């Protein structure tokens, strides 16, 4: 009986969590994971293609919304815009040359969107209190895109991690959100 009760409560909590998210469709009317494919061209370069069918939004109190991807990684810097990104791990040959080049990007632009500030890394934060989270003035009070680059590459001993950042935020008189 206890097991059935626990299963019911878990199912109810998952349903409530899923209900709190709104799907914003780009290429799919139904929530779907980003499609990531890799290949190697004739020069031995690793090519990665990412297609994002849409994203979720979640209202965070009166502070605005959070942008979330299925399988996305949270923003870790408190005060930065609460926009998830994707990570892709790549195995690189010994003495391989690692650099990232963006060869193609398409975007949709949304205006008048209030993005909430991130509460920071949930692994190292106590219970998040969005009412006490403040915006990072260096991002929210200038007229530059955040993040500045859509992809970042971090080298490791046996490979590299690519962070794909499909959202770019610019805070101005009318907030703009190009979604790549």
pLDDT value at residue 95: 65
Q: How many domains does the chain have?
A: 1
- On whether residue 16 sits in a domain, the answer given is no
Domain for residue 91, yes or no? yes
Q: Indicate the pLDDT class of residue 13, thresholds 50, 70 and 90.
A: very low
Predicted local distance difference test score (pLDDT) of residue 22? 92
pLDDT in tens, 107-141: 788 877 888 888 877 666 555 565 667 777 777 77
What residues contact residue 3 under an 8 Å CB cut-off, 6+ apart?
A: none
Query: Does 5 fall in a domain?
Result: no
Q: Which of 124, 1, 103 is nearest to 49 (CA)?
A: 103
* Mean predicted confidence (pLDDT) in 14-19: 46
63 part of a folded domain: yes
Q: Is residue 10 part of a domain?
A: no
**Residue 131 DSSP class:** T
Where do we find the tokens 């009760």?
Answer: 5
50 falls within a domain: yes
Instruction: Give domain status of residue 2, yes or no.
Output: no
**Beta carbons of 114 and 65 less than 8 angstroms apart:** yes
Q: Is residue 37 one of the residues assigned to a domain? A: yes
Domain containing 128 equals: 22-179
Give the residue from 59, 88, 57, 58 showing the smallest Cα distance to 71.
Answer: 88
The answer on pLDDT for 18 being more than 50 is no
Residue range 95-112, pLDDT digits in tens: 666 777 888 888 788 877
Is pTM beyond 0.85? Reply is no
C-alpha 120: how far from chain center: 14
CATH at residue 54: 2.60.40.3800
Q: Are 80 and 171 contacting, i.e. CB atoms less than 8 angstroms apart?
A: no
Q: What percent of the chain has pLDDT over 70?
A: 73
Mean of the pLDDT values across residues 17-37?
83
């Amino acid at each position: 009986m206890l097991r059935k009760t626990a299963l019911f409560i878990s199912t109810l909590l998952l349903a409530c969590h899923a209900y709190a998210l709104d799907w914003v469709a780009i290429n799919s009317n139904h929530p779907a994971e980003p499609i990531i494919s890799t290949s190697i061209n004739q020069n031995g370069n690793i090519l990665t293609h990412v297609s994002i069918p849409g994203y979720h939004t979640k209202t965070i109190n009166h502070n605005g919304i959070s942008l979330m991807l299925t399988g996305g990684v949270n923003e870790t810097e408190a005060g930065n815009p609460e926009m998830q990104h994707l990570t892709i791990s790549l195995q690189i040959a010994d003495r391989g040359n690692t650099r990232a080049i963006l060869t193609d990007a398409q975007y949709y632009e949304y205006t008048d969107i209030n993005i909430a500030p991130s509460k920071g890394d949930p692994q190292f934060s106590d219970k998040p209190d969005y009412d006490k989270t403040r915006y990072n003035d260096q991002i929210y009070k200038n007229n530059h895109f955040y993040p500045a680059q859509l992809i970042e590459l971090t080298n490791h001993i046996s490979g590299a991690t690519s962070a794909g950042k499909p959202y770019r935020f610019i805070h101005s008189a009318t907030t703009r959100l190009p979604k790549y």
